[in-house]
Amino acid sequence: MAGHSKWHNIKHRKAHQDKKKGKIFTKLTKEIHQAVRQGGDDPYTNYPLKLAIDKAKQNNLPNENIERTIQKASGNVDGIDYEEITYEGYAPHGVAVFVEALTENRNRTAAEVRLQFNKNGGNLGEDGCVAFMFHRKGQLMIEKDEATDEEQLMLEAIEAGADDVQVEDEYVQIITVPDAFQDVKDSLEQAGYAFEFAEVTQIPDIYADLDDQQAEEAHKLIEALEDLDDVQNVYHNLV
């Protein structure tokens, strides 16, 4: 039986990010910068910016950093324009990997991503080789405790607009379409729920179920990619 699970991966990712707080802050400011450059500086009319700000606050990026980034991006003070690029491939043991990057130097980023795939037992593939496995969805994870009323939570999530609610031993997973994510999140927060994870993300159709050793080998590549300055998100289909 595989020792990993979606919940394990959420915890694994969070622990890894906590060790790299400074790097996470840099990625968050880049995401805010890009959202402003593409849609303006008003989060009420620029939904990607609202999501980027919420994500930054969840990761404890100081408000002054958020405001400074918005001001700089609005006037393009630094003269920086980032390009959005995706990469696709496989980690060890057939784990599908989908990478999103923001970069001002496409050649540098491509070389760095390719190097990490090669060094960590993966294979960088062609565009489209794994993208079809992933779909953009809102994902909210709530850790269960003795006070969790599963039926009440399911009812509140569905009434708020969730597409699906999955109750597991340690957590409840709530899935939404991207446009409903914020409404569901706001509604459940007002009802008193706290989230271990809440983002619009890429969710795979099929999962690779590995044992602990195999999963750690796959995670080695995933974490190496996450550590690259130009990489914003690394999605995978490890259970």
Of residues 83, 11, 47, the one with CA closest to residue 178: 47
Spatial CB neighbours of 156, under 8 Å, sequence gap ≥ 6: 187, 188, 191
Per-residue model confidence as pLDDT tens digits over 216-226:
999 999 999 99
pLDDT tens-place string over residues 131-176: 999 999 999 999 998 889 999 999 999 999 999 999 988 899 999 9
* Token pair for 237: 């289909």
pTM score, two decimals?
A: 0.84
Mean pLDDT of the region 119-142: 97
Domains of the chain with bracketed CATH:
134-204 (3.30.70.980)
Span 46-84, pLDDT tens digits: 999 999 999 999 889 999 999 999 999 998 766 678 999
Helices (H), the chain: 6-19, 21-39, 47-58, 63-75, 106-119, 150-160, 181-190, 212-226
Q: Are strands 197-204 and 95-103 parallel, antiparallel or unpaired?
A: unpaired
Collect contacts of 155-160 with beta carbons under 8 A, ≥24 apart. Answer: 156/187, 156/188, 156/191, 157/184, 157/188, 159/187, 160/184, 160/187, 160/188
